[in-house]
Amino acid sequence: MSSLGSPTVTGLGDPVILYYKNAKRWVITQFATQSQKKLLVYVSQTSNPQGAYYFYQFSCPNFPDYPKWSISESSDALLASINEGGPPRVYAMKLSSLLTGAA
């Protein structure tokens, strides 16, 4: 996963918007084009949904279709369950890092 100042890939769609109440932050996700095979994650830097966002891209071995998202405070994770053809894959991203813009 990499933290970038601004997106360098094109989002294909199916956005999901989550509000993480305990941190008062917005999380927006979508996937990139089929050839890019990436999950895109945007995390608000403040509680203002119209403010600045940290941007992350996460590479997958196959196209990450039908992502389902969850936040697990006890595991310090943003979790994604993905259909990549075959059994579902589960990805975990370190939530505390996402909230601070860390790589």
pLDDT digits (tens, 9 = 90+) for 2-51: 444 555 566 777 889 999 999 999 999 999 888 889 999 999 999 999 99
**How is the chain split into domains, by residue range?**
2-100
Q: What is the pLDDT at residue 9? A: 63
* Torsion angle defined by CA atoms of residues 82, 88, 94 and 96, in that order, rounded to the nearest 10 degrees: 60
Alpha helices in the chain (DSSP H): 95-100
Q: What is the pLDDT at residue 1? A: 42
Query: ∠99-17-94 over CA atoms, to 5°?
Result: 30
Global pTM value: 0.87
Strand 53-59 relative to strand 2-4: parallel, antiparallel, unpaired? Answer: antiparallel
Asked whether 80 and 88 are in contact (CB, 8 A), the reply is no
* Residues ≥6 apart with Cβ < 8 Å to 1: 56, 57, 58, 93, 103
- Cα 22 off chain centre by: 18
Q: What is the pLDDT at residue 7? A: 53
pLDDT in tens, 38-92: 999 999 999 999 999 999 999 999 999 999 999 999 999 999 999 999 999 999 9
